[in-house]
Structure 1
């Protein structure tokens, strides 16, 4: 699996966890408001007082089916829509006077979250963590036995070169051998004589052949590996990252 596949899957799992959490949070809010509406309707039908009293609020809380909601719930006179924070029921006409009342619950984000069903979101979040750790372990393991420079890496297992996205870089056998020499050098620097002795040991003067080899190799490694081969003093060649 390529790294970006793992990242895309991780992001998809995280997105699923967020969407699931948000959906169930909204469902919990709707369930709270529905419970407040039922409790207020029952309280209004049962009330005998002309005004809201402490007994009214106590009856309203008793009529709520969500026990965790009761400490935060109250009944108030209706003024205007959407005052402050908190959840509100529908407005209802008081039986004995010409005014409207409304159920109100000052619940925090955490309180609603605890009342919501977040099992799927929690499972997806755990899966994202496990997948992330597994991916890091997998890619660290894959990087073992690989020499990396710029955006190009040498795999010691098959002696081939790849991009950081694990796409194979197509090189001729001679180009591949030269790049291996560069990668295995601690300074990534080789003398002309070293290269010629290794690649063309029986050829008296391989300068022209080496020039052609490097000329054809440069555009490949510049485009796919962000690397360059520079000519140094004393007929040395140095492999380094492009600017």
Structure 2
């Protein structure tokens, strides 16, 4: 699977979930406004009020169809001017004697409450699937070697067991095509081994190449080899072995 395919699938799941979620949220807002509008209209038809009382509010809330609104909604006598709180009913008016009064109803519920009242089951399922797909895709591509790395390894590669060295990139890789990291000095020694005939080097040759100004670097070489061994142990089935006659050889471990 190519990365672009994973991205397309991710957005094919994520975008519908977001659009559907927002659409259901908007529909619920409209349904709430319609509910307070009809409840307010029935309240006015039931009885005209020159002021709002507890009985007025009880009548209004009894006409609401959405149970969640019965705990939070309220009424307010107002002017004809638009409300500064946009989420409210239409402004309705009626006459008391010679005076015309205006009244509005306010659902008084938060965005979170509206979201909770809206249908979010299908959007949530799509959203969760898209997140799981995204995470699994990231893990897949992190674990899978890239085509570039594969091409590097397959081109001009020297191998000893499960240890691979690409001459074109000057990098070491393990059997899973993951780069093996060495310190600069470790890398120099490993490169000497990998390109040497039979992967065999004398102590004198190594010391002269790595520490040309040092009179006796045998102890330093011993320490360097000792520190490389656990790196190789973790990465591949290759080891550095000392031979009689002051030689070191890079070889595959016997099973």
TM-score in terms of structure 2 length: 0.58
Alignment partner, residue 5 of structure 1: 5
Any unmatched runs of 5+ in structure 1?
A: 155-159, 163-172, 199-243
Q: Which moved more, 1:101-110 or 1:43-52?
A: 43-52
**C-alpha distance in 2, partners of 1:120/1:6?**
22
DSSP 3-state at the match of 1:94:
strand
The one-character-per-residue Cα deviations of 1:57-79 (angstroms, maximum 9, x if unpaired) are 11101100001011111111123
1:180 is displaced (CA, Å) by 2.8
DSSP 3-state at the match of 2:19:
helix
1:48 is displaced (CA, Å) by 4.3
Alignment partner, residue 249 of structure 2: none
Number of residue pairs the alignment of both structures matches: 172
The one-character-per-residue Cα deviations of 1:213-238 (angstroms, maximum 9, x if unpaired) are xxxxxxxxxxxxxxxxxxxxxxxxxx
Please say if residues 17 and 124 of structure 1, whose CA atoms lie closer than 8 Å, have aligned partners that are also in contact.
Answer: yes
Please say if residues 24 and 120 of structure 2, whose CA atoms lie closer than 8 Å, have aligned partners that are also in contact.
Answer: yes
**C-alpha distance in 1, partners of 2:49/2:114?**
32
Alignment partner, residue 114 of structure 2: 112
Alignment partner, residue 220 of structure 1: none
**C-alpha distance in 2, partners of 1:52/1:194?**
94
**C-alpha distance in 2, partners of 1:28/1:81?**
22
**C-alpha distance in 1, partners of 2:64/2:75?**
12
Alignment partner, residue 81 of structure 1: 82
> What do you get for the CA RMSD once the two structures are aligned?
3.0
**Equivalent residue for 2:149, pick from 141, 150, 153:** 153
**C-alpha distance in 2, partners of 1:9/1:76?**
50
DSSP 3-state at the match of 1:184:
strand
1:136 is displaced (CA, Å) by 2.8
Alignment partner, residue 180 of structure 1: 166
Alignment partner, residue 25 of structure 1: 25
**C-alpha distance in 1, partners of 2:94/2:149?**
77
1:18 is displaced (CA, Å) by 1.7
Alignment partner, residue 132 of structure 2: 130
Q: Which has the larger radius of gyration?
A: 2
Please say if residues 48 and 94 of structure 2, whose CA atoms lie closer than 8 Å, have aligned partners that are also in contact.
Answer: no
Alignment partner, residue 234 of structure 1: none
DSSP 3-state at the match of 2:144:
helix
**C-alpha distance in 2, partners of 1:78/1:153?**
72
**C-alpha distance in 1, partners of 2:82/2:48?**
26
**C-alpha distance in 1, partners of 2:124/2:8?**
19
**C-alpha distance in 2, partners of 1:91/1:180?**
78
DSSP 3-state at the match of 1:72:
coil
Superposition pairs for residues 27-66 of structure 1, below 5 Å? 27-66=27-66
Alignment partner, residue 201 of structure 2: none
**C-alpha distance in 2, partners of 1:106/1:4?**
45
- Structure 1: 4+ residue segments shifted above 4 A: 188-191
1:88 is displaced (CA, Å) by 0.7
